Structure 1
Amino acid sequence: MERQGWRLVMERLRRRVWFRLALFAVGAVLLALLAGTWGAWLAELVTVDLGQGSVQGLLQILATSMLAVTTFSLTVMVSTYASASTVSTPRATQLLIEDQTSQRALSTFLGAFVFAIVGIAALSTGYYGEDGRIVLYAGTLAVIAIVVITLLRWIQHLVTFGRMADVLDRVESAACSTVTDAARAPHLGGRPPVDVPPEAWAVRAELSGVVTRIDMDTLSAAAEEVAGTVHVRVRAGALVARGEEIARVGGTRSDEAAARVRRAFVVERHRTYEQDPRLGLIALGEIGSRALSPSTNDPGTAVEALHAIQRVLTAYLVTERVEDDDHPRVHLAAVGFADLVEDGIRPIARDGAGIVEVALRVQRVLGGLALVAAPAEVETLRQASVRAERRALATLSDPEDVSLVEEAARRARAGRVA
């Protein structure tokens, strides 16, 4: 596996709930068992007279309470995921699952439960001497203190966890991260597309699914191996079919090079935020669109989603490009700004066309983006403004509302938002 492949595995492993739970559980077992070994050494430093059964009583209380708290916390997390998927968008669920605070809380509670169970079992077998029980008692007090602190933080976290504002903030943060990376390195360290040599040969996908990541180091190594170039046909977020062309290689043809190029494309069932700058804006657009459905009827959330979209696209527009050329043999197209605008704004402009407050906010957002955009991007924003205005005028019936939208659209295309 290539270096970036291992890095991807470790990054994803670190975000998995079970991985953190396993680490805490193993740590709890080691702490409980090592108490017997450390007892003789620590007995020379401190002497404590423990009452009969004091350690086991604490451990029993800890085991009973932590089992209930762990079950409750898991129930809260699962219900939060389901609620967020229903009221916002399923694309936000993966961000909630990767929440570090909830993972730490659940891991701490489970670790404390495992520590108590192992301690009780070891005490019942006579594993600990008198000195070992002193260390176990101190360890139990330390675990209780950690649990109390974690529980306080968890309670505070639950106040906002999974609420609409929290979901919007998480999606916006993920979107900002990916779009700024895309703006900083639009070709992922490679070069812009060029005419493909006629002798270039195709590399085709072996799986059907979504491209979630492209390993540029692997593509660059493959290009050097064949003393040629690699022309990438798809970006992260693209849906590919089995047998579809994903790249063309200009150079000596070999099965080893083809396999190496193919390994550079991670194809999975679902899109991820890691290298896909469009997914965050799609999720924000879906949140705003769902808020405008007749069953929800929440224009305020649609407006909040528009504000988040404006901040994300502003981050894209103001990020300076880094002129890196780490992979000169790899050619890859940049993400189109028009696609980003359409992904975020079009669903809300379409579904909110008949609500004057939303239609006005769409124009204001487009006008605000035009203030920081380059001339080519300003034209894209003007076209989006024209389409949004056309939708609104075709839906609104009140003449005053129509005139307000027309004036807002004129201001947006003139670069004035006040």
Structure 2
Amino acid sequence: MIERWKWFVIRISKRPWFRASLYSVLGIATALVALVAAPYIPDDVPTKIGSDAVDNILGVLASSMLAVTTFSLSIMVAAYGSATNNVTPRAISLLVEDPTTQNTLSTFVGSFIFSLVGIIALSTGLYGDNGRVVLFAATIIVVILVLYALLRWIDQLSGLGRVAETTARVEKAATQALCQRMEQPFLGGRPLEVDPKALPGARPLYPRKIGFVQHIDMPALGELTQAEDRAVYICVLPGIFVEPSQPIAWSVGIGEDCDDALRDAFVIGAQRTFDRDPRYGIIVMAEVASRALSPGINDQGTAVDVIGRGVRVLSHLSRPTPPEDPKFDRVFAPGLSVADMLDDFFTPIARDGAAIIEVCIRLQQALASLGRLGDAAVALAANRHASMALRRAEAALTMPDDYQRVCQAADAAGLLDTSNQQGK
């Protein structure tokens, strides 16, 4: 249950309103701290500093921060619309969750709230001369933070919503999710190597919701299987679409009174997330390439760039990983399918780019790179996709010379025997 709440807290902390609310509370607390610190200020300090100086600064800060926040929000909305049209709508969540953007806007909102509370407190006479000095010092610090946030915001705006920047964010999210899964290929449990339906006493567990599995609380399942005669066999992974007629797990030795606790370990939502679902990041990258290859955009350069990014992400499938020490001995989970990962990425790109020679050649080179990394399963899947991409190119390319160039690229890659195809 703790793991489940931890995941929820992480998800909530990525929402824009969370940081904005946190910075607003901080702004209020900073403005009111002068009331507590005022008695500790020597009486002659207000005269030396000029305690009335804070009024004008707070007024300028309040008016400017409101305008800057409104302007920044309009820029964000325009950037999200541009990314939706030119990249893919599935990548917008990464832009919304960007910590730099959230921190910048939260700083603007927090400084506006700080100045507003300060002005209200000054007008009521709560501070006194000594309190004004403390407020003046806090205002200087807030101004410095605002200037720093503005400089970061200017740098951030140079790439916000652009295709290359958004694609880089998707690549980073997919890489993080895949590396995390490679460290725990079975989510911390043991590999699922048997058909749970054939086990004696196994009971199916059906979900009550319809949607995508977003998270599996393995510690909760581990607590339910502490007894030696208990076990849970997971049938789904994060990213799988489930509905009430499809079992998400099978339990052995666990009574029906624990079914609700078992279901609570599976977080099901309306949309897929990048955090625990490496296949989703791969799918979104393929969507970026497919959109770039559409007749309305016709940007094969972006597709070639995405293919290179996909090779970087999928190369982690061949990375040697130490044997996993299962934390939950009686929880069994399926592992990632290498074939499915390559299907998710290369199939749509090969289909939509079959008539573009640059894409066809780059696909053969990319698949050859994956095949040479040493993992047998990756090499087998790469060989299969290279063969399919070559057949798609044969059907789509109208110039025989173009097809010969693709065959030469495939032959140079060493994955296929193209001697028969080149003679056609």
| Aligned equivalents of 1:244, 1:321: Cα separation in 2 | 34
2:215 pairs with 1:213: yes
Which residue of the other structure, out of 239, 242, 262, is the alignment partner of 1:240? 242
2:11 pairs with 1:9: no
Secondary structure of 2:143's partner?
A: helix
1:244 deviation in Å? Answer: 2.2
| Aligned equivalents of 1:66, 1:386: Cα separation in 2 | 58
Match runs of 1:315-354 below 5 Å: 315-354=316-355
| Aligned equivalents of 1:402, 1:272: Cα separation in 2 | 39
Which residue of the other structure, out of 204, 209, 212, is the alignment partner of 1:202? 204
Aligned residue type for 1:136: L
| Aligned equivalents of 1:117, 1:243: Cα separation in 2 | 55
1:224 deviation in Å? Answer: 2.5
Q: Which runs of 4+ in 1 moved over 6 A?
A: none
| Aligned equivalents of 2:245, 2:395: Cα separation in 1 | 43
Question: Contact 2:188/2:328 (CA < 8 Å) preserved in 1?
Answer: yes
Secondary structure of 1:331's partner?
A: strand
Match of 1:266 in 2: 267
Question: Contact 1:385/1:412 (CA < 8 Å) preserved in 2?
Answer: no
Question: Contact 2:51/2:132 (CA < 8 Å) preserved in 1?
Answer: no
- When the two chains are superposed, the root-mean-square deviation of aligned CA atoms in Å is 1.7
The unaligned stretches of length 5 or more in structure 1 are none
| Aligned equivalents of 2:135, 2:101: Cα separation in 1 | 27
Aligned residue type for 1:403: Q
**Worse-matched range after superposition: 75-84 or 171-180:** 75-84
| Aligned equivalents of 2:210, 2:322: Cα separation in 1 | 33
Question: Contact 2:46/2:129 (CA < 8 Å) preserved in 1?
Answer: no
Q: Deviations over 1:92-133 (max 9, x none)?
A: 111111111111110111111111111111111111111111
Match of 2:253 in 1: 251
Match runs of 1:4-403 below 5 Å: 4-43=3-42, 46-49=45-48, 51=50, 53-193=52-192, 194-196=194-196, 197-224=199-226, 227-255=229-257, 257-403=258-404
| Aligned equivalents of 1:317, 1:248: Cα separation in 2 | 31
TM-score normalised over the length of structure 2: 0.94
Question: Contact 1:212/1:276 (CA < 8 Å) preserved in 2?
Answer: yes
Aligned residue type for 2:187: L
Secondary structure of 1:43's partner?
A: coil
Q: Deviations over 1:309-335 (max 9, x none)?
A: 000011221141442211111111111
Question: Contact 2:233/2:333 (CA < 8 Å) preserved in 1?
Answer: yes
1:36 deviation in Å? Answer: 2.4
**Worse-matched range after superposition: 76-85 or 150-159:** 76-85
Question: Contact 2:51/2:136 (CA < 8 Å) preserved in 1?
Answer: no
How many residues of Structure 1 are paired with residues of Structure 2 in the alignment? Answer: 414
| Aligned equivalents of 1:274, 1:114: Cα separation in 2 | 33
Aligned residue type for 2:18: F
Secondary structure of 1:108's partner?
A: helix
| Aligned equivalents of 1:319, 1:307: Cα separation in 2 | 21
Question: Contact 1:183/1:321 (CA < 8 Å) preserved in 2?
Answer: no
Secondary structure of 1:245's partner?
A: coil
